[in-house]
């Protein structure tokens, strides 16, 4: 069964990539994906992509799948970056205290009668979100004299949206910006498309909240324009996008130039996603990026140092931050069985087998092909820090990764971490006999398994017992 699933996974991966796409990626010198039966070489960005696809596959809630990386920028940071590329954005300033709000109103908005107060968290859906304190909405349009009061109710409070999960995120900053006279709201995004092996611009003549619902009910309203990565965006491409947006008052030529500038931002900043919702028309016939979300490729951190220096780890899952420091690939999920696997493909297969046997994975954790004992210890610390984890499944297929190293790491982890949940271990491959001997001689109460199917079955059984 396991071999068949892995074969299917490899086959599907090759279908998705295609020979043409692989050639394009080599020519671009971006990534070269190699799919093997036992080893998956994977970037952090691709790991997040696979985990996102997994969430969609098992929750049946997403209509569009796209590569997702860490969302590194808050709204005010994104606005500053877009401004550098000549993109129209509202005038605004980020503040982190009530005193700063008062000062910003006096210095930046002395003549404004109304202001927009936006909570700053790395998640979408803020407008329809709700604070645990009871305040409804993370975005408010208020009179200038009320901005201080509403900002005070947001700062330090937890905002829950569709994208934060029930735990929400703490608002440590709010963004004050001018209230522009908007006459029309639309949707604009650029993402990476596997089918065309390049950027894809997505546009809709209606924007604002609940774009997902709109895409589901009226898919014909969504237009997609693939961009040739070698030619770059052309006037014709930009014109198609503007036609899809169908602006009512904005100057057409100026709008085409704005679309081209947005693409240049996407390309030159190594974005994996740029989403503007809404992109709006103002009463003075301008196209403005009223709200935006930007994601960046982690592999480009070395050449986008200024952007990555803006990263705020307090807005991210602390387990993912700890994993990144230990050079581990980790994404938290909502299940009860913690997984530690080597290789992204094997991790995906492991989670699928757990689901097949009636369990739910608590995470995606890939220790990679060259993990040290110390990294294995850190992996166990991260797994056991999740209160939802009721059992742990270790599934190692030793190719580059040696089974004895994993075994030694498990034993050392037991000395540093109080293992209060059952641990199921399946080892196969390089130095497997040494690894099994280390585990046996350790005296630890481990549950061993012969293959992945057996391991998943025992993990689910241990969870329920």
Question: How far is residue 201's CA from residue 263's CA, in Å, rounded to a whole number?
Answer: 9
Does 399 appear as a known binding residue? yes
Residue 126, annotated ligand binder? yes
Q: How many residues does the chain have?
A: 465
Confirm whether residue 137 is marked as ligand binding.
no
Report whether 178 belongs to an annotated binding site.
Answer: no
Residue 129 annotated in ligand binding: no
Paired strand residues for 394: 340, 425
Residue from 275, 320, 378, 457 carrying the catalytic annotation: 275
DSSP string, 265-311: HHHHTTEEEEEEEEEEEETTS-EEE-SEEEEE-GGGTTT-HHHHTT-
- The reply, when asked if residue 185 is annotated as ligand binding, is yes
In 194-234, the DSSP E strands lie at: 198-204, 222-226
User: Is 187 known to be catalytic?
Assistant: yes
* Catalytic-labelled residue, pool 40, 187, 263, 330: 187
Q: Is 375 left (phi over 0), alpha (psi -120 to 50) or beta?
A: alpha
Question: Greatest CA separation found in the chain?
Answer: 77
Q: Is 368 annotated as a binding residue?
A: no
Q: How far apart are CA 150 and CA 15, in angstroms?
A: 52
- Residue 350: burial class (beta carbons within 10 Å; 0-12, 13-18, 19+): buried
- The pair phi, psi for residue 123, each rounded to 5°, is -165, 150
Residue 127 counted as an annotated binding residue = yes
* 33 is a catalytic site residue: no
Does residue 303 have a known ligand-binding role?
Answer: no
Positions annotated as catalytic residues are 187, 275
Annotated binding site for ATP: 118, 125-127, 185
Annotated binding site for Mg(2+): 277, 291
Annotated binding site for substrate: 342, 399-401
């Amino acid at each position: 069964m396991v071999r068949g699933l892995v074969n299917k996974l490899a086959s599907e991966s090759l279908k998705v990539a295609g020979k043409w796409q692989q050639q394009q990626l080599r020519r671009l010198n971006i990534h070269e994906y190699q799919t093997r039966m036992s080893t998956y070489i994977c970037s952090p960005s691709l790991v997040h992509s696979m985990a996102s696809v997994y969430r969609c596959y098992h929750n049946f809630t997403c209509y569009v799948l796209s590569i997702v990386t860490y969302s590194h920028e808050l709204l005010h940071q994104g606005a500053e970056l877009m401004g550098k590329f000549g993109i129209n954005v509202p005038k605004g300033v980020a503040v982190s205290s009530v005193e700063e709000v008062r000062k910003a109103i006096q210095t930046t908005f002395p003549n404004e009668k109304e202001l927009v107060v936006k909570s700053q968290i790395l998640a979408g859906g803020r407008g329809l979100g709700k604070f645990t304190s009871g305040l409804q909405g993370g975005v408010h349009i208020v009179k200038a004299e009320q901005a201080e009061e509403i900002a005070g109710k947001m700062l330090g409070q937890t905002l829950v949206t569709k994208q934060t999960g029930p735990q929400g995120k703490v608002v440590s900053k709010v963004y004050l910006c001018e209230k522009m006279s908007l006459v029309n709201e639309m949707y604009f995004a650029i993402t990476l498309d596997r089918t065309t092996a390049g950027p894809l611009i997505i546009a809709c003549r209606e924007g604002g909240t609940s774009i997902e619902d709109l895409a589901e009910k009226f898919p014909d309203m969504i237009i997609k324009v693939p961009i040739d990565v070698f030619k770059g965006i052309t006037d014709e491409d930009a014109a198609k996008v503007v036609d899809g947006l169908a602006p009512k008052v904005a100057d057409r030529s100026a709008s085409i130039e704005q679309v081209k500038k947005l693409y240049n931002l996407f390309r030159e900043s190594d974005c994996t996603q740029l989403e503007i919702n809404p992109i709006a028309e103002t009463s003075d016939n301008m196209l403005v990026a009223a709200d935006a979300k930007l994601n960046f490729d982690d592999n480009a951190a070395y050449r986008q140092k200024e952007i990555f220096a803006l990263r705020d780890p307090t807005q991210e899952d602390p387990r993912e931050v700890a994993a990144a420091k230990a050079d581990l690939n980790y994404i938290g999920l909502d299940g009860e069985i913690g997984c530690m696997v080597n290789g992204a493909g094997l991790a995906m297969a492991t989670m699928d087998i757990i689901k097949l046997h009636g369990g739910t994975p608590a995470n995606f954790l890939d220790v990679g092909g060259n993990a040290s004992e110390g990294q294995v210890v850190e992996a166990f610390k991260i797994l056991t820090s999740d209160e939802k984890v009721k059992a742990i499944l270790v599934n190692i297929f030793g190719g580059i990764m040696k089974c004895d190293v994993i075994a030694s790491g498990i034993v050392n982890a037991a000395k540093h971490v109080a293992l209060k949940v059952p641990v199921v271990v399946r080892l196969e491959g390089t130095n497997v006999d040494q690894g099994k001997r280390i585990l046996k001689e350790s005296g630890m109460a481990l549950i061993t398994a012969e293959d992945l199917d057996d391991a998943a079955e025992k993990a689910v059984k241990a969870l329920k017992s």
